[in-house]
């Protein structure tokens, strides 16, 4: 099955350093509509998120799960699964993006066709993860995306998640082209 791996902070919800409380969750404008459109196109939707605040002792896994519950409510249950890596960057854990651990876990749980799948996020680590697993990488310009636009080479640069969803809708019966930017 085709899958879209979505970064959490800065991609589907507004970036907040070490989000702790459900009331802090605010979707990126257009993200709920984007997720609905991707779901209608038949994609499995999986959030993969580095949550180093857990490893640093700033937030707890319970905080992360409470925030997840609020995200599930906002997105009306359209997101199929969430995976997290609680490790600090200096640990270089297998689960921490751009390492493939979270994607590999998802591939064990679901019958994912990685060549027909995407990794979408606002950092080069998301794009690099896509390259490592054989998916296509999308850099969105929300969150930290503007900072990374000249630092990595994604398959596609999209102004936001909704622009990417529209790209997918237009591409249903067309061959995909890399190296383009969509609004």
Q: Are 138 and 164 in contact (CB under 8 A)?
A: yes
Q: Are 144 and 10 in contact (CB under 8 A)?
A: yes
Task: For residue 60, give Cα distances in angstroms to 19, 20, 21, 64, 137.
Answer: 10, 8, 11, 7, 30
DSSP 89: G
DSSP 116: G
Reduce the DSSP state of residue 156 to 3 states and report it: strand
Q: Of residues 9, 63, 122, 160, which has the active-site annotation?
A: 9
Task: Count the neighbouring beta carbons within 10 Å of the beta carbon of residue 168.
Answer: 22
Angle at CA 4, nearest 5°, toward 103 and 115?
70
Is 113 an annotated catalytic residue? no
Q: Are 154 and 169 in contact (CB under 8 A)?
A: no
Among 72, 54, 75, residue whose Cα is nearest residue 63: 54
Is 7 an annotated catalytic residue? yes
| Active site positions, annotated | 7, 9
């Amino acid at each position: 099955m085709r899958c879209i791996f979505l970064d959490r902070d800065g991609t589907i919800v507004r970036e907040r350093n070490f989000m702790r409380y459900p009331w802090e969750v605010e979707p990126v404008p257009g993200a709920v509509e984007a997720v609905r459109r991707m779901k209608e196109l038949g994609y499995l939707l999986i959030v993969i998120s580095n949550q180093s605040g857990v490893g640093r002792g700033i937030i707890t896994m319970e905080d992360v799960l409470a925030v997840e519950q609020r995200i599930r409510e906002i997105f009306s249950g359209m997101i199929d699964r969430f995976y997290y890596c609680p490790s600090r960057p200096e640990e270089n854990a297998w689960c921490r993006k751009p390492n493939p651990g979270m994607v590999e876990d998802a591939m064990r749980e679901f019958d994912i066709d990685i060549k027909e799948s995407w990794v979408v996020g606002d950092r080069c680590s998301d794009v690099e993860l896509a390259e490592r697993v054989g998916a296509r990488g999308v850099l969105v310009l929300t969150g930290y995306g503007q900072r990374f636009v000249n630092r990595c080479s994604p398959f596609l640069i999209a102004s936001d998640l909704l622009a990417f969803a529209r790209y997918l809708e237009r591409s249903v019966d067309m061959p995909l082209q890399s190296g383009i930017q969509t609004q």
